[in-house]
């Protein structure tokens, strides 16, 4: 099948999309060194900075969440590919401050290698930096070793909570501890219906039969393990949310945050019907839907499907989730 | 005794980049089977950066040339490919030491240091269906040939053959690293794109030295 996308030279996808993004949101973000998306109004240097890294092609993630109350810098790689370690180090030098910087890393091989090398460079240069790895995918099993579990959409609420704590003037250790608590209480499962095209190579990134769906699909279209015949929204929602609630050990009376994250081609209509299905299961189990978001946060081009995210919340986590933020793709007033 | 100097090293890297470019589509297609389909694009950018750095060298010293190649490769936004191959070239630079000309044994020592550099970045072991499965047998064959008295061309030819066999053997393996890991048993039947790239690189190295 021929790729049908509005692009120019496939080699320039990332710089061109970032240029347009910065143009659209010039009140919130500014581009430095071509691939560092920074806050337009830098945070008070007495507060902890938050930096993340990752490939492009997942818009609005990750750079859509740079701004007051969330990220200070998003280091962008290329389509589905991690940025180079020296660029991550550049970002850590830009945010360098006595209060320190927290580097949020999603568990994908390239991101982990680049961040490890950048952290070594930062330590050698005497920068005050700590890092946290998100790995909330439960496709390989909720008890699989952390290194086998991918970082999916959960990084975004984590930016929100850690970012709010940083804005509140918490120390690097306090921000890290809070982020770790959230990290340890969150889980994501993805489901795919239709494939996406890699916008640089023009190749389809996986194949599913017309009547099939696959639970556990990664956010680069890496195949998952639970392929089945197509199911209804309610059945799909129930299968996924049940596994997620088990993974975070949620029981009656617990409060949860739920995010339905569209992969790119799945309509908001479908996402809301899935959300309704999640609500029914929560009600049956007596679990409180404390907060929810439905929409596209981290996409995979035109892939059909969604990621379902659940986190068990306490009052402090909810306080930071509700704190103000002002970024291109998440605003709380 | 046959030796290689900076001019040959530049020729080797340029030949490897050309061979990777010629196979870009096939490498991406291989990656589509088990990953996200961009290995060809990424390895091309990495090897283009290596070629530009090598050809731009003015130091005339193998170690400095390879160090520049390593850092320029490391600076490519290429997922795990750039830190892995960047560390490989920086390792080669360390292994080359101050020598202006390398015989077969010195070449083997240089490549052993390259493998050690790359392996600092990953816990992948032989059998895990990664570039390690082509690289490790290639460098072992290089060392064995050099110790057996082969010249550089013959030793690199042995290395290229071992890399090709190693890459082919990944077809029967189940991925334990990188994005392909999540596919489990379904990775069987497809050669690992990283290992295949390594086999192309060593094949080009051998041809460049031989010619």
Which two structure tokens, joined as six digits, stand for A234?
Answer: 């309610």
User: Cβ of B117 under 8 Å from any chain A Cβ?
Assistant: no
Give CA separation, B55 vs B49, B60, B199, in Å.
Answer: 10, 11, 22
Residue ranges covered by each domain of chain A: 12-184, 187-314
pLDDT of residue A152: 97
Q: Nearest 5 degrees, angle CA B163-CA B167-CA B173?
A: 140
Q: What is the pLDDT of residues B149-207, one digit of tens each?
A: 999 999 999 999 999 999 999 999 988 876 676 667 778 889 999 999 999 999 999 99
Which residues in chain B have Cβ-Cβ distances shorter than 8 Å to A190? none
Q: For residue B109, how many C-alpha atoms fall within 13 Å in the half-sphere facing its CB?
A: 13
Q: Where are the domains of chain B?
A: 6-210
Q: Per this entry, what is the length of chain B?
A: 211
pLDDT at A74 (0 to 100)? 98
Q: Is B72 helix (H, G, I), strand (E, B) or coil?
A: helix
Over the range B64-78, which residues count as b (16 or more CB within 10 Å of their CB) and which as e? ebbbbbbbbbbbbbb
Q: Is residue A30 packed enough to be buried (19+ CB in 10 Å), middle (13-18) or exposed (0-12)?
A: middle
Minimum-distance CB partner of A203 among B29, B76, B184: B29
Q: Which of A111, A222, A263 has the highest number of chain B CBs within 10 A, making it the mutation to test binding with B?
A: A222
What pLDDT, on a 0 to 100 scale, did the predictor assign at position A304? 96
Shortest CA gap A262–chain B (Å) = 19
A58 is catalytic: yes
Q: Which residues of chain B have pLDDT under 70?
A: 178-179, 181-183, 211
Q: What is the pLDDT along chain A (333 residues), one digit of tens a residue?
A: 578 999 999 989 999 999 999 999 999 999 999 999 999 999 999 999 999 999 999 999 999 999 999 999 999 999 999 999 999 999 999 999 999 999 999 999 999 999 999 999 999 999 999 999 999 999 988 888 888 899 999 999 999 999 999 999 999 999 999 999 999 999 999 999 998 998 988 888 778 889 999 998 766 666 566 789 999 999 999 999 999 999 999 999 999 999 999 999 999 999 999 999 999 999 999 999 999 999 999 999 999 999 999 999 999 999 999 999 999 999 999
pLDDT at A27: 97
SS3 state at B4: strand
Give residue-wise pLDDT tens across range A253-270: 999 999 999 999 999 999
> Is A135 part of the annotated catalytic residue set?
no
* Collapsed DSSP state (helix, strand, coil) of residue B102: strand
pLDDT at A61: 98
Which CATH code for domain B6-210? 1.25.40.340
Q: For residue range A151-183, what is the model confidence (pLDDT) as tens digits? A: 999 999 999 999 999 999 999 999 999 999 999
Asked if B29 reaches chain A (Cβ–Cβ under 8 Å), the answer is yes
Q: Can you give the pLDDT at residue B172?
A: 93
Q: Regarding the domain with residue range A187-314, which homologous superfamily does it belong to in the CATH classification?
A: Dihydroxyacetone kinase; domain 2 (3.30.1180.20)
Number of A–B residue contacts, CB under 8 Å: 117
- Cβ-based neighbours of B7, under 8 Å, separated by 6 or more: none
Contact B155, B108 (CB under 8 A): yes
- For chain A, give the secondary structure using H, E and C: CCCCCCCCCHHHHHHHHHHHHHHHCCCCEEEECCCEEEECCCCCCCCCEEEEEEEECCCCCCHHHECECCECEEEEEEECECCCHHHHHHHHHHCCCCCCEEEEEECCHHHHHHHHHHHHHHHHCCCCEEEEEECCECCCCCCCCHHHCCCCCCHHHHHHHHHHHHHCCCCHHHHHHHHHHHHCCEEEEEEEEECCECCCCCCECCCCCCCEEEECCCCCCCCCCEEEECCCHHHHHHHHHHHHHHHCCCCCCCEEEEEEEECECCCHHHHHHHHHHHHHHHHHHCCEEEEEEEECCCCCCCEEEEEEEEEEECHHHHHHHHCCEEECCEEEC
Contact: B79, A110; criterion CB under 8 Å:
yes
Q: Do A113 and B121 touch (CB under 8 A)?
A: yes
Instruction: Look up residue B49 and give its two tokens.
Output: 């950066």
Bond from prior residue into A60 cis (ω within 30 degrees of 0): yes
The domain A12-184 is classified under which CATH number: 1.10.10.10, 3.40.309.10, 3.40.50.10440, 3.30.70.270? 3.40.50.10440
**Cα-trace Rg, chain B:** 16
How buried is A45 (Cβ within 10 angstroms: 0-12 exposed, 13-18 middle, 19+ buried)?
Answer: exposed
First vs last Cα of chain A: how many Å apart? 45
For residue A321, the distance in angstroms to the closest alpha carbon of chain B comes to: 31
pLDDT for A219: 67
For the question of an ipTM over 0.85, the answer is no
Cross-strand pairs, B4? B102
- Is A57 in the B-facing interface, judged by CB distances under 8 Å? no
């Amino acid at each position: 099948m021929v790729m049908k996308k509005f692009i120019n030279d496939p080699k320039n996808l990332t710089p061109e999309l970032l240029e347009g993004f910065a143009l659209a949101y010039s009140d919130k973000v500014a581009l430095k060194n071509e691939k560092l998306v920074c806050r337009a109004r830098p945070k008070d240097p007495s507060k902890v900075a938050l930096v993340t890294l990752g490939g492009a092609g997942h818009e609005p993630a990750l750079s859509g969440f740079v701004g007051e109350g969330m990220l200070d810098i998003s280091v962008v790689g290329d389509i589905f590919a991690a940025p180079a370690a020296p660029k991550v180090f550049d970002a850590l030098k830009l945010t360098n401050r006595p209060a320190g910087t927290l580097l949020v890393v999603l568990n994908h091989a390239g991101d982990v290698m680049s961040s490890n090398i950048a952290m070594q460079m930062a330590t050698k240069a005497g920068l005050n930096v700590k890092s946290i790895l998100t790995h909330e995918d439960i496709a390989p099993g909720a008890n699989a070793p952390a290194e086998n579990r991918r970082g999916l959409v959960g990084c975004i609420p984590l930016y929100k909570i850690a970012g709010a704590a940083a804005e509140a003037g918490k120390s690097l250790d306090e921000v890290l501890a809070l982020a770790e608590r959230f990290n340890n209480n969150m889980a994501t499962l993805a489901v795919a219906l239709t494939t996406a095209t890699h916008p640089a190579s023009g190749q389809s990134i996986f194949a599913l039969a017309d009547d099939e769906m696959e639970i556990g699909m990664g956010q680069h279209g890496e195949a998952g393990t639970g392929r089945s015949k197509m199911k209804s929204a309610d059945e799909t929602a129930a299968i996924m949310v049940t596994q997620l609630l088990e993974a975070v050990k949620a029981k009656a009376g617990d409060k949860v945050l739920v995010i339905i994250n569209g992969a790119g081609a799945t309509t908001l209509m479908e996402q809301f019907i899935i959300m309704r299905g999640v609500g029914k299961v929560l009600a049956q189990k007596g679990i409180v839907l404390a907060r929810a978001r439905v929409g596209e946060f981290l996409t995979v081009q035109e892939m059909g499907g969604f990621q379902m995210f659940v986190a068990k919340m306490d009052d402090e986590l909810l306080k930071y989730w509700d704190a103000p933020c002002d970024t291109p793709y998440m605003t709380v007033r | 005794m046959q030796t290689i100097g900076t001019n040959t090293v530049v020729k080797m890297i340029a030949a490897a980049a050309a061979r990777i470019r010629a196979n870009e589509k096939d490498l991406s297609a291989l990656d589509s089977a088990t990953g996200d389909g961009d290995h060809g694009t990424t390895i091309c950018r990495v090897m283009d950066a290596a070629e530009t750095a090598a050809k731009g060298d003015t130091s005339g010293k193998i170690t400095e040339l390879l160090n520049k190649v390593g850092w320029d490769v490391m600076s490519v936004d290429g997922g795990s490919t750039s830190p892995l191959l960047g560390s490989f070239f920086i390792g080669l630079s360390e292994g080359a030491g101050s020598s202006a000309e390398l015989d077969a044994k010195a070449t083997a020592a240089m490549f052993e240091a390259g493998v050690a550099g790359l392996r600092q970045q990953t816990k992948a072991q032989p059998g895990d269906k990664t570039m390690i499965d082509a690289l490790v047998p290639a460098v072992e064959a290089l060392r064995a040939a050099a110790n057996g008295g082969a010249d550089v061309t013959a030793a690199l030819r042995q290395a290229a053959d071992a890399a090709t066999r190693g890459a082919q053997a990944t077809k029967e393996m189940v991925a334990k690293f990188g994005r392909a890991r999540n596919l489990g048993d379904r990775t069987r039947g497809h050669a690992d794109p990283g290992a295949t790239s390594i086999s192309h690189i060593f094949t080009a190295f051998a041809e460049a030295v031989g010619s």
